[in-house]
Chain A
Amino acid sequence: MSHFVLDARNLLCPMPVIRTQNRVAELGPGDVLEVRATDPGTLQDIPAWCRIHGHEMLSVTKNEGEITLTLRVRAA
């Protein structure tokens, strides 16, 4: 299990979701991905995408316009 970071700042939805989807496709079960974004739409969309695909949303934090969403890739 490894920890990865995806920079999706300054992208408007759905691009952060697409980048997250494509990055997760390269990761293995149990890997953790930290997505950094600025579009408030990610607060809804990335957790929704995780629910749909069975990935675990570990945390969502917002700090002065920068959003960090951390997810764990589902077991195979």
Chain B
Amino acid sequence: MTTRPAPTTKLDHSPVSPASGEPRKAVALISGGLDSMLAARVMLDQNIHVEGINFYTGFCVEGHTHAIRRQAQAKPKRNNALWTAEQLGIKLHIIEVIEEYKEVVINPKHGYGANLNPCLDCKGFMVRKAREWMERNGFDFIITGEVLGQRPMSQRRDTMPVVARESGAFDRLLRPLCAKLLPETLPERAGWVDRSKLLDFNGRSRKPQMALAKQYGFTDYAQPAGGCCFLTNEQYSRKLADLWAARGTKQYEFDDIMLLKVGRHLRPRPHFKLIVGRDEGENNFLNGYRKNFMHLYATSHEGPLVLIEGTVTETDLELAARLTARFGRGRDAASVTLTVTDTEGHSRVLHVAPLAASDVPAEWYL
């Protein structure tokens, strides 16, 4: 449990850190989106030394994940947080938090949003990690790109103090884009930053941010719908909920959540599901996992690599083979030949009739 630090008897108004004699330092949460970029830029304008921090939870929406799919591979591949830091001319520290983050996803104290997005717990977690980093590295305060009223869960007037409190950051957490609408923080009271030059952005409109971006000359910035997290995605959340239901426990490993990002997922029976590559890029990606799964592919026609998650009977395997044939070029053939390989590497050949589209119920698709 985090406790509020004892109040200092005298506010330190020095624009430089007494310990180092250097300018005051802020660590900025950089998601790779526009808001955190603007927040950092506003602080740089006030001669604050800013360094970025970015957390990799495993659920991050990365251009590279999309680039697994073949049709997306012509697009430039970049990490948006790195790109943002380079535009700003600041250092960026990327911190992997995959294991620690599980508790946030599995047991969110404040519950989920519209999907399996634990936004309030997530923000509290990230600000707490930033606070710990700040303390280890001799920084003075934390900034985020939060905007009052922009997100229904974590960016409300009543929940923003929760993040400050539960993270242990308290008044060392400054939100430059909406600071004028919030109580003064330590950096403002102490005069490290000029409150009058902070902003009063409010609500879901993106127009003020876009206008400020234009003013700073920022173009080509990332604006992913639903933020930068797969957990805000309805379909992704459905697949994660299915995974938990099928296993009878709310646990996951890193490979589980990676595989939920890739392929077409079908659960024809409660005890097994299929992950079907949708193109060459996804087939290549799934191929990296083939040794961990019983898997199938057609040899008589082009088609997907299909991983089977679960334990299957011979009848199940025939159904899986007919579905695999359904998603390949042999879908209209009388018979498709496939190879099935188990997790010990033993392969055998199957000949099946592809399943008709009308025989694939919509509820099998996750």
Interface residues, chain A, CB within 8 Å of chain B? 10, 12-15, 17-18, 21, 39-41, 43-45, 48-49, 51-53
Cα separation A13 to B86 with both chains bound (whole Å)? 17
User: Across the interface, do B258 and A45 meet the contact criterion of CB distance under 8 Å?
Assistant: no
A residues near B351, Cβ cutoff 8 Å: none
| Distance between A40 CB and nearest chain B CB, rounded to angstroms | 6
Given known A-B contacts A41-B67, A41-B79, A45-B79, A14 and B56 have beta carbons under 8 A apart: yes
17 A-B pairs with CB atoms under 8 Å apart are: A14-B79, A14-B94, A15-B96, A17-B79, A17-B82, A21-B93, A40-B67, A40-B77, A41-B63, A41-B64, A41-B67, A43-B77, A44-B78, A48-B79, A48-B82, A49-B92, A52-B90
| Distance between A35 CB and nearest chain B CB, rounded to angstroms | 15
From B77, B81, B95, give the contact of A41 (CB < 8 A). B77
From A18, A48, A51, give the contact of B78 (CB < 8 A). A48
Let me know if B286 is at the binding interface, CB within 8 A. Answer: no
Name the prevailing secondary structure of the A interface residues: helix
| Distance between B154 CB and nearest chain A CB, rounded to angstroms | 23
B residues near A15, Cβ cutoff 8 Å: 56, 96
From A12, A21, A39, A48, give the contact of B86 (CB < 8 A). A48
B residues near A53, Cβ cutoff 8 Å: 91
User: Across the interface, do A14 and B62 meet the contact criterion of CB distance under 8 Å?
Assistant: yes
User: Across the interface, do B92 and A44 meet the contact criterion of CB distance under 8 Å?
Assistant: no
Which chain B residue has the least Cβ–Cβ distance from A10?
B288
Question: Top 6 nearest A-B pairs by Cβ distance?
Answer: A41-B64, A13-B64, A41-B77, A48-B82, A45-B79, A44-B78
Cα separation A45 to B79 with both chains bound (whole Å)? 6
Let me know if B251 is at the binding interface, CB within 8 A. Answer: no
Which chain A residue has the least Cβ–Cβ distance from B81?
A14
Interface string of B67-108 (1 = CB under 8 A from A): 100000100111101110110001111111000000000000
Name the prevailing secondary structure of the B interface residues: mixed
Let me know if B299 is at the binding interface, CB within 8 A. Answer: no
A residues near B63, Cβ cutoff 8 Å: 41
Interface residues on B, range: 20 to 34
B residues near A13, Cβ cutoff 8 Å: 62, 64, 77, 79
Given known A-B contacts A17-B82, A21-B94, A12 and B56 have beta carbons under 8 A apart: no
User: Across the interface, do B92 and A52 meet the contact criterion of CB distance under 8 Å?
Assistant: yes
Let me know if B65 is at the binding interface, CB within 8 A. Answer: yes
Cα separation A58 to B63 with both chains bound (whole Å)? 26
User: Across the interface, do B77 and A51 meet the contact criterion of CB distance under 8 Å?
Assistant: no
Cα separation A51 to B83 with both chains bound (whole Å)? 11
Which chain A residue has the least Cβ–Cβ distance from B83?
A48
User: Across the interface, do A18 and B79 meet the contact criterion of CB distance under 8 Å?
Assistant: no
| Distance between A11 CB and nearest chain B CB, rounded to angstroms | 11
A residues near B77, Cβ cutoff 8 Å: 13, 40-41, 43-44
A residues near B91, Cβ cutoff 8 Å: 52-53
A residues near B81, Cβ cutoff 8 Å: 14
Which chain A residue has the least Cβ–Cβ distance from B284?
A65
Which of the listed residues A13, A15, A53 has the most CB atoms from chain B within 10 Å of its own CB? A13
A residues near B60, Cβ cutoff 8 Å: 14
User: Across the interface, do B56 and A51 meet the contact criterion of CB distance under 8 Å?
Assistant: no
Which chain B residue has the least Cβ–Cβ distance from A38?
B288
B residues near A17, Cβ cutoff 8 Å: 79, 82, 94
User: Across the interface, do A49 and B258 meet the contact criterion of CB distance under 8 Å?
Assistant: no
| Distance between B74 CB and nearest chain A CB, rounded to angstroms | 12
B residues near A51, Cβ cutoff 8 Å: 86
Considering the complex, which residues of chain B in the window 257-307 have a beta carbon less than 8 Å from any beta carbon of chain A?
Answer: 258, 288
